[in-house]
């Protein structure tokens, strides 16, 4: 017989962050933040080096003042809404938390812009625009309902 164990608050907060719809977000800044924020340096590919894992800096680089909606030991989450679209910026204190978050998010599928200790969720067109500002890599996550890609077997 197993005893019921209540979920620790951190686990509940992480689960809540993963289940909230990415596009039902809002913050109210269409104008870039004028604070002094270091811009990521462009690389040879024309995409800047990834931004630091700080919601306020990432939001500033993308022309938004993020509305922080979650602060937990495992992650921080801020939302942006501008005339260009809506997005969620999630930062993590360690890569292991980001990887756990991405693994869980893959259940739902979608495209994310991912950098060191951060991820941004939005529509793919918005993510492509944001990538020119904050760097990172676009990652397409397969949902559990997506069929597996066709595989070819080597000829014998």
pTM recorded for the entire structure: 0.65
pLDDT tens digits along 55-69: 999 999 999 999 999
Quote the longest CA-to-CA distance of the chain: 63
Q: What pLDDT, on a 0 to 100 scale, did the predictor assign at position 93?
A: 95
Query: What are residue 6's phi and psi, to 5 degrees?
Result: -65, 150
Tell me how far apart the alpha carbons of residues 144 and 102 are, in angstroms, rounded to a whole number: 13
Range scoring the smallest mean pLDDT among 21-35, 105-119, 126-140: 21-35
pLDDT over threshold 50, residue 22: no
- Give the chain's mean pLDDT: 75
pLDDT over threshold 80, residue 99: yes
Tell me how far apart the alpha carbons of residues 104 and 74 are, in angstroms, rounded to a whole number: 14
> How many Cβ atoms sit within 10 Å of the Cβ of residue 66?
25
* Contact call for residues 154 and 121 (beta carbons, < 8 A): no
* Contact call for residues 143 and 109 (beta carbons, < 8 A): yes
Q: What pLDDT, on a 0 to 100 scale, did the predictor assign at position 16?
A: 43
């Amino acid at each position: 017989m197993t005893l019921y164990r209540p979920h620790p608050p951190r686990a509940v907060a992480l689960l809540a962050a993963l289940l909230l719809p990415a596009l039902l977000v809002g913050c109210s800044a269409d104008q870039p933040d004028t604070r002094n924020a270091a811009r990521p340096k462009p690389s040879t590919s024309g995409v800047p080096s990834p931004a630091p894992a700080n919601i306020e800096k990432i939001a500033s680089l993308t022309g938004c003042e993020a509305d922080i909606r979650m602060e937990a030991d495992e992650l921080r989450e801020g939302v942006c809404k501008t005339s260009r679209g809506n997005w969620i910026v999630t930062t993590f204190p360690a890569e292991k938390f980001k990887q756990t978050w991405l693994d869980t998010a893959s259940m739902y599928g979608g495209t994310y812009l991912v950098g060191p200790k951060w991820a941004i969720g939005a529509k793919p067109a918005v993510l492509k625009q944001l990538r020119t500002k904050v760097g990172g890599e676009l990652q397409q996550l397969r949902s559990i309902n997506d069929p597996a890609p066709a595989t070819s077997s080597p000829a014998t």
